[in-house]
């Protein structure tokens, strides 16, 4: 069993950490602060709550006043979102009904059937979600890989004009995206990168790289050089030492950087709207296009937003510990 | 094991000369200590030898062959750092095996296993072999670091203050172990420290380094008994040596601002004015002493007591055996071992004996 | 100045007990050192006295005031930190006068008091410097001046020499002790360095694992350690402690020929503690061992260390126990040499391995 000697605070504490017994008065203000925080949290969460509910309501339920709090969840919105449908001819209708009775019909087909429709194929939303995954995923990988090497070099080597270079890299972030979209649009059209996956991947990679390099440099700075030097003396080359010693220790940094890049690329709207149309269009600009077409498809929009949110939520949840460290990194450095 | 030679090694960093014309050699099987204060250039010396820093001038020879052009991996030296050198993502076993798995050696796994287990045995860390290094105490970590150096049987061990981050009791214990290990294995070791006790206790020979230059090379006895400069005299020995300006008066030596007249020590001949050094243990407080003074302060350390004795405006620090308790202002008599006095020129160099 | 009284003071951090209920009275003008390894609760104790940490239970009296629940600023104690805690953006003079200005003293009084303490600590020439330009020793002098200037009821010092070079440490150690003798201020001093504790303390409170192991004068903790922990912790190297077996007036080290006859005055208490015979720990300080060709104990040299004025021999008395013997520095023994030695009967000690407590010798025969 480890004694306190081994695990306890090894360094003397030099700052005050007075933990007062709470007087009734400070206990009250403590409570007040907690209530305020909870209220703010609720206000912020309301839209998400409404969105989730809307996704599972039927169209009439969505627009009913007062809003329905208790309802039977339905996947109608998701069917609208994910499929192309047509009004079924009476003959097909009969067929489908028969199939449904025998339990041979899929869930979505059954829901479509309730409003007399048949599913003719997947909707564009599916393609766009897939585009989002491809573009965001690949650009994230590319940015992180490049940033790992660039950050390591900036951290360890005497690069000429290092500070200027670092500032230049960061300065690419100063311009708002909207300002550069038009020139980019013209350039991409000329280069035939408009509406291509590779074009979007390149764009997001370049855009993410500045932040990623800075983050990775910070993480590498925190790893003492003694580790690599020990490996050098032990008989390893610089590159081997990097992969076997440094990179495993920078894993948290890599994960945090990846999440930051992924979130940007996943959520990006302005570039995607201007630079893609059919082939490479990602999910964010496509969701609003569901407005129209004979009324606003609120349930489909909500379902689309929800579907769009879920992948990021999962990734962030899996990496939440790294992310927290990523957010707070630098705060405790000298 | 091998011998090591440094020939006129010079290294400059922007704005500072880290090493200036450093020349020394470490014999096969010798425990050689580089002693000096922070910033003396000790660590730079080690890094130059390991190949982690390239010297500007001069040459490093291992077994009489220059290795200046070799990268660190090919020099086959082992380096033990002050801290941070264990790989936190690996177990103790993998840390020990790491140098053996390098492309330079690439031993088969069963041979690695034998070597790692033997090393763990020697250092008594066998029970820790499967632990992650993050879960070790400071002493255990440093044992593993030493193990990682031993395991591959290098030409020379370079140790950069490996004990200085440990607490005192542990340092004491590891110091003895390290010395025993080195003597029984006969390994060539270059050990860097700022702690004079570590240097005196472990070294076969010591090189005292200050501001990038070697001040004195010698056995611990040489360094302690015949320090070449006042810097060396003050660096070794605790409490610190008493150092006072003194004038020659006929055949006696008068310590400035005090009532102390000493018989002229034989080897302090020439100059009129010198810096006189008296080690605290060479001042004995005894009833029949030739000199007298008042106690200014006593510091009982346990096995011995430090007594600050005032004479005139000078305060002499004396170290006497046992625990004694004088009160401030007590009058005491004392003797000074005149055959163990140290005489320095006013510029700090030892008066040459002829 | 005032007496400090801790009554059943305890500190818990969640489930972790940092200080188990302890009683301690520090006399007016006394210099008490809290000594122990890191994490033993010494700093927490000091911080509770200062009010930087609240107590979980218990009472702290300062003079005849109960200060247990007072804010640090209301306790009238001065705290000296290991890392000086000087304000970097203002001069030494302003640093020193800071506590007086907080009390709203007049300019004249402030100037006069600052001059006084600056003279006392010999830092008059540094008063207009910023802390960043001062050496570690001078920074700590300024920090001490800042503590002194207020004339507080007590000084609390948390390893004030810990961040200094060995060089400065020796000098500052003597200076602080000198200061104490001159000012006679009640002082509680925390350190992990037993040499510092021995050199400075009127009384040493040795702590380990949140418990006071022994409180006594340097002489007491050095010669009569209350238990194995204190014996090991005090001294450099610490007391030699050899697991042995006692039977009929003789202590023998298992697996060897080593026998040591228990000196007069010890037999009765040992018999009482062990109820006849059994396991015992033989303890003696390195300087208590004398090399003798006909000594009753023997062992092989494991290592030998020149320590300046003397040498320390590390001798294997059986496979597990290495004892340290202080010897004349002229003698050099190669590893493996067999040595014989005796122990000064006045300086031998015995411990009960079960309770780890020291066995007390019969008082005066």
Contact yes or no for C54 and A21 at CB 8 A: yes
Is A23 touching C (CB cutoff 8 A)?
no
Q: What average pLDDT does this structure show over C305-330?
A: 87
User: A89 and A187 in one domain?
Assistant: no
Residue A300 domain-assigned? yes
User: A257 and A108 in one domain?
Assistant: no
Q: Which residues of C touch B306 (CB under 8 A)?
A: 199
User: What is this structure's pTM?
Assistant: 0.80
Q: Which residues of A touch C41 (CB under 8 A)?
A: none
> Pick from A8, A14, A21: which is nearest to C81 by CB?
A14
Q: Are strands B31-35 and B205-210 parallel, antiparallel or unpaired?
A: parallel
**How far, in Å, CA of B223 to CA of B43, rounded?**
21
CA distance B54 to chain C (A): 30
Residue A290 domain-assigned? yes
User: A199 and A164 in one domain?
Assistant: yes
User: pLDDT at residue A241 above 70?
Assistant: yes
Q: What pLDDT score does B8 carry?
A: 95
Query: Is residue A5 within a helix (H) or strand (E), and if so which, with residue range?
Result: helix A4-7
Contact yes or no for A224 and B88 at CB 8 A: no
Question: Which of left, alpha, beta for B101 (phi over 0: left; psi -120 to 50: alpha)?
Answer: alpha
Taking Cα atoms as reference points, which of C76, C81, C80, C99 lies closest to residue C4?
C76
User: A178 and A314 in one domain?
Assistant: yes
Is B78 touching A (CB cutoff 8 A)?
yes
User: A90 and A162 in one domain?
Assistant: no
User: Residue A83 in contact with residue A118, Cβ under 8 Å?
Assistant: no
User: Residue C199 in contact with residue C166, Cβ under 8 Å?
Assistant: no
Task: Give chains near A: 3+ CB pairs under 8 A.
Answer: B, C
CATH code, domain with A213: 1.10.3720.10
Q: Which residues of B touch C234 (CB under 8 A)?
A: 302
Query: What distance lies between CA C234 and its chain's CA centroid?
Result: 7
Taking Cα atoms as reference points, which of C107, C169, C105 lies closest to residue C137?
C169
**How far, in Å, CA of C69 to CA of A20, rounded?**
9
Instruction: Look at residues A68, A99, A123 and tell me which one is the last residue of a structural domain.
Output: A123
Place of tokens 């649009």: A185
Place of tokens 């060479």: B282
**How far, in Å, CA of C207 to CA of C222, rounded?**
15
Contact yes or no for B73 and A237 at CB 8 A: yes
Q: What average pLDDT does this structure show over C15-28?
A: 93
Residue A240: C-alpha distances to residues A10, A157, A234, A243, B215 (Å): 33, 17, 11, 5, 40
**Tokens at residue C196, please?**
């510092």
**Tokens at residue A190, please?**
């000329």
> Pick from C287, C307, C326: which is nearest to B200 by CB?
C307
User: A244 and A107 in one domain?
Assistant: no
Residue A111: C-alpha distances to residues A60, A89, A142, A306 (Å): 15, 16, 41, 19
Instruction: Look at residues A86, A101, A123 and tell me which one is the last residue of a structural domain.
Output: A123
Q: Which residues of B touch C181 (CB under 8 A)?
A: 297, 328
Count of structural domains within chain A? 2
Spatial neighbors of A95 by CB under 8 A, at least 6 apart, are none
User: A166 and A230 in one domain?
Assistant: yes
Q: What average pLDDT does this structure show over C93-107?
A: 86
**How far, in Å, CA of B350 to CA of B344, rounded?**
4
Q: Which residues of A touch C159 (CB under 8 A)?
A: 12
Kindly list the domain boundaries of chain C, sorted by start residue.
4-229, 237-351
> Pick from A224, A230, A236: which is nearest to B79 by CB?
A230
Taking Cα atoms as reference points, which of A245, A246, A243, A263 lies closest to residue A323?
A263
Q: What pLDDT score does A330 carry?
A: 43
User: A170 and A84 in one domain?
Assistant: no
User: A212 and A87 in one domain?
Assistant: no
Q: What pLDDT score does C359 carry?
A: 94
CA distance A199 to chain B (A): 38
Most confident among A299-308, B136-145, C51-60 (mean pLDDT): C51-60
Q: Which residues of C touch A9 (CB under 8 A)?
A: 38-39
Contact yes or no for C16 and A4 at CB 8 A: yes
User: A301 and A200 in one domain?
Assistant: yes
Instruction: Look at residues A107, A123, A139 and tell me which one is the last residue of a structural domain.
Output: A123
Overall fold of domain C4-229:
Rossmann fold (3.40.50)
Q: Which residues of C touch B172 (CB under 8 A)?
A: 236-237
User: pLDDT at residue C317 above 60?
Assistant: yes
User: A114 and A174 in one domain?
Assistant: no
- CA C208, C214, C219, C220 dihedral sign is negative
What percent of chain A has a predicted confidence (pLDDT) above 90?
A: 22
**Tokens at residue B7, please?**
């020939």
Query: Which one of B302, B329, B330 makes the best mutation probe of the C interface by having the most chain C beta carbons within 10 Å?
Result: B302
Taking Cα atoms as reference points, which of A277, A286, A81, A315 lies closest to residue A197?
A277
Q: Which residues of A touch B99 (CB under 8 A)?
A: 234-235
Q: Which of residues 68-127 of C touch A (CB under 8 A)?
A: 69, 72, 81-83, 85
Residue A304 domain-assigned? yes
Residues in chain C: 365
Residue A180 domain-assigned? yes
Is the bond into A66 cis (omega within 30 degrees of 0)? yes
Query: Per-residue b/e over B264-301, b at no fewer than 16 CB within 10 Å?
Result: bbeebeeeeebbbbbbbbbbebeeeeebebebbbbbbb
Chain C residue with Cα closest to A14? C81
Opening angle at CA B123, ends B119 and B126, nearest 5? 75
User: Residue A144 in contact with residue A263, Cβ under 8 Å?
Assistant: no
Query: Which one of B191, B231, B296, B303 makes the best mutation probe of the C interface by having the most chain C beta carbons within 10 Å?
Result: B303
**Tokens at residue C326, please?**
């202080």
CATH class of the domain whose range is C237-351: mainly beta
What percent of chain A has a predicted confidence (pLDDT) above 70?
A: 87
Is C15 touching A (CB cutoff 8 A)?
no
User: A101 and A245 in one domain?
Assistant: no
Contact yes or no for A14 and C52 at CB 8 A: no
Residue A203 domain-assigned? yes
Q: What pLDDT score does A327 carry?
A: 55
Taking Cα atoms as reference points, which of B40, B117, B119, B50 lies closest to residue B80?
B50
Higher pLDDT, A93 or C223: C223
Contact yes or no for C39 and A4 at CB 8 A: yes
Domain that holds residue A321: 126-327
User: pLDDT at residue A254 above 60?
Assistant: yes
**How far, in Å, CA of C313 to CA of C316, rounded?**
10
């Amino acid at each position: 069993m480890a004694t306190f000697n081994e695990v306890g605070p090894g360094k003397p504490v030099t700052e005050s950490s007075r933990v007062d017994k709470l007087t009734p008065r400070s206990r009250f203000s403590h409570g007040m602060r907690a209530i305020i925080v909870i209220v703010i949290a609720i206000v912020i969460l309301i839209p998400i709550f409404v969105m989730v509910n809307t996704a599972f309501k039927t169209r009439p339920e969505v627009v009913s006043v007062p809003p329905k709090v208790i309802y039977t969840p339905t996947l109608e919105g998701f069917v609208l979102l994910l499929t192309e449908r047509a009004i079924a001819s009476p003959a097909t209708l009969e067929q489908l009904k028969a199939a449904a009775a025998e339990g041979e019909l899929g869930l979505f087909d059954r829901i479509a059937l309730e409003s007399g429709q048949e599913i003719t194929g997947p909707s564009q939303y599916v393609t766009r979600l897939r585009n989002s995954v491809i573009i965001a995923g690949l650009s994230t990988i590319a940015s992180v890989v490049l940033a790992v090497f660039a950050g390591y070099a900036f951290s360890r080597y005497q690069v000429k004009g290092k500070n200027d270079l670092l500032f230049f890299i960061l300065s690419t972030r100063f311009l708002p995206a909207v300002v550069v979209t038009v020139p980019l649009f013209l350039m991409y059209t000329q280069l035939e990168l408009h509406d291509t996956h590779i074009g979007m991947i390149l764009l997001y990679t370049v855009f993410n790289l500045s932040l990623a390099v800075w983050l990775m440099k910070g993480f590498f700075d925190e790893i003492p050089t003694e580790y690599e030097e020990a490996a050098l003396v032990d008989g390893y080359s610089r590159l081997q030492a990097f992969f076997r010693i440094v990179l495993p220790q920078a894993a948290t940094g890599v994960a945090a950087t990846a999440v930051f890049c992924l979130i940007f690329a996943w959520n990006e709207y302005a570039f995607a709207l201007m630079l893609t149309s059919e082939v490479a269009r990602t999910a964010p600009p496509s969701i609003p296009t569901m407005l129209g077409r004979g009324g606003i498809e609120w349930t489909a929009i909500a379902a689309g937003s929800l579907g769009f949110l879920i992948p990021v939520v999962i990734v962030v949840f899996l990496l939440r510990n790294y992310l927290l460290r990523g957010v707070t990194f630098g705060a405790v450095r000298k | 094991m091998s011998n090591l030679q440094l020939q006129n090694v010079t290294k400059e960093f922007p704005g500072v000369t880290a090493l200036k014309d450093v020349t020394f050699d470490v014999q096969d099987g010798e425990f050689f200590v580089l002693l000096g204060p922070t910033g003396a250039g000790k660590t730079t010396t080690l890094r130059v030898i390991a190949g982690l820093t390239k010297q500007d001038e001069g040459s490093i020879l291992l077994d009489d062959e220059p290795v200046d052009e070799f990268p660190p991996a090919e020099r086959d030296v082992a380096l033990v750092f002050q801290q941070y050198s264990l790989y936190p993502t690996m177990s103790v076993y993998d840390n020990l095996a790491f140098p053996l798995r390098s492309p330079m050696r690439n031993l088969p796994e069963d041979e690695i296993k034998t070597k790692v287990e033997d090393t763990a045995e020697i250092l008594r860390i066998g029970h820790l072999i499967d632990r992650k290094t993050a879960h070790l105490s400071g002493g255990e970590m440093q044992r593993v670091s030493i193990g990682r150096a031993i395991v591959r049987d290098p030409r020379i061990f370079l140790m950069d203050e490996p004990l200085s981050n440990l607490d005192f009791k542990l340092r004491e214990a590891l110091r003895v172990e390290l010395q025993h290990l080195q003597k029984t294995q006969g390994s060539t070791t270059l050990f860097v420290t700022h702690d004079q006790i570590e240097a005196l206790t472990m070294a076969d020979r010591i090189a005292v380094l200050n501001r990038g230059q070697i001040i004195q090379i010698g056995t611990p006895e040489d360094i302690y008994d015949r320090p070449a400069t006042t810097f060396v005299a003050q660096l070794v020995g605790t409490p610190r040596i008493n150092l006072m300006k003194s004038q020659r008066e006929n055949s006696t030596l008068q310590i400035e601002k005090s009532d102390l007249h000493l018989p002229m020590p034989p080897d302090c001949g020439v100059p009129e004015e010198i810096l006189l050094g008296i080690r605290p243990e060479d001042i004995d407080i005894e009833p029949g002493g030739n000199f007298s003074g008042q106690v200014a302060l006593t510091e009982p350390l346990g096995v011995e007591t430090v007594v600050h004795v005032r004479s005139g405006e000078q305060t002499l620090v004396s170290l006497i055996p046992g625990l004694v308790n004088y009160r401030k202002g007590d009058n005491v008599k004392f003797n000074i071992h005149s055959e163990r006095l140290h005489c320095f020129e006013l510029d700090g160099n030892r008066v040459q004996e002829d | 100045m005032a007496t400090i009284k801790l009554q059943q003071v305890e500190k818990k951090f969640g489930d972790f007990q940092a200080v188990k209920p302890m009683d301690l009275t520090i006399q007016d003008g006394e210099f008490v050192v809290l000594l122990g390894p890191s994490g033993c609760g010494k700093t927490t104790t000091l911080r509770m006295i200062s009010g930087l940490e609240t107590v979980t239970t218990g009472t702290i009296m300062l003079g005849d005031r109960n200060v247990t629940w007072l804010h640090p600023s209301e306790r009238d104690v001065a705290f000296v930190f290991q890392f000086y805690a000087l304000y970097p953006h203002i001069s030494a003079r302003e640093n020193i006068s800071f506590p007086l200005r907080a009390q709203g003293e007049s300019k004249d009084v402030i100037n006069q008091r600052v001059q006084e303490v600056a003279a006392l600590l010999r830092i008059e020439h540094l008063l207009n410097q910023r802390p960043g330009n001062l050496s570690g020793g001078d920074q700590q002098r300024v920090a001490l001046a800042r503590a002194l200037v207020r004339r507080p009821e007590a000084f609390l010092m948390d390893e004030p020499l810990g961040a200094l070079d060995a060089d400065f440490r020796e000098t500052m150690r003597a200076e602080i002790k000198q200061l104490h003798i001159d000012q006679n201020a009640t002082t509680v001093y925390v350190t992990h360095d037993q040499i510092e504790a021995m050199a400075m303390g009127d009384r040493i409170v040795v702590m380990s694992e949140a418990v006071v192991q022994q409180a006594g004068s340097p002489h007491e903790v050095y010669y009569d350690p209350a238990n194995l922990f204190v014996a090991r912790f005090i001294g450099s190297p610490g007391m030699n402690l050899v697991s042995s077996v006692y039977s009929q007036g003789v202590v023998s080290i298992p697996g060897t020929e080593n026998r040591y006859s228990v000196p007069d005055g010890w037999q009765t208490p040992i018999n009482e503690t062990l109820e006849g015979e059994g396991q015992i720990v033989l303890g003696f300080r390195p300087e208590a061992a004398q090399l003798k060709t006909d000594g009753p104990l023997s062992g092989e040299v494991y290592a030998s260390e020149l320590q300046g004025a003397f040498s320390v021999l590390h001798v294997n008395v059986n496979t597990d126990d290495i004892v340290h013997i202080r010897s004349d520095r002229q003698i050099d023994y190669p590893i493996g040499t067999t040595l014989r030695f005796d122990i000064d009967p006045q300086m031998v000690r015995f411990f009960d391995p079960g309770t780890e407590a020291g066995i007390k010798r019969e008082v005066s025969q």
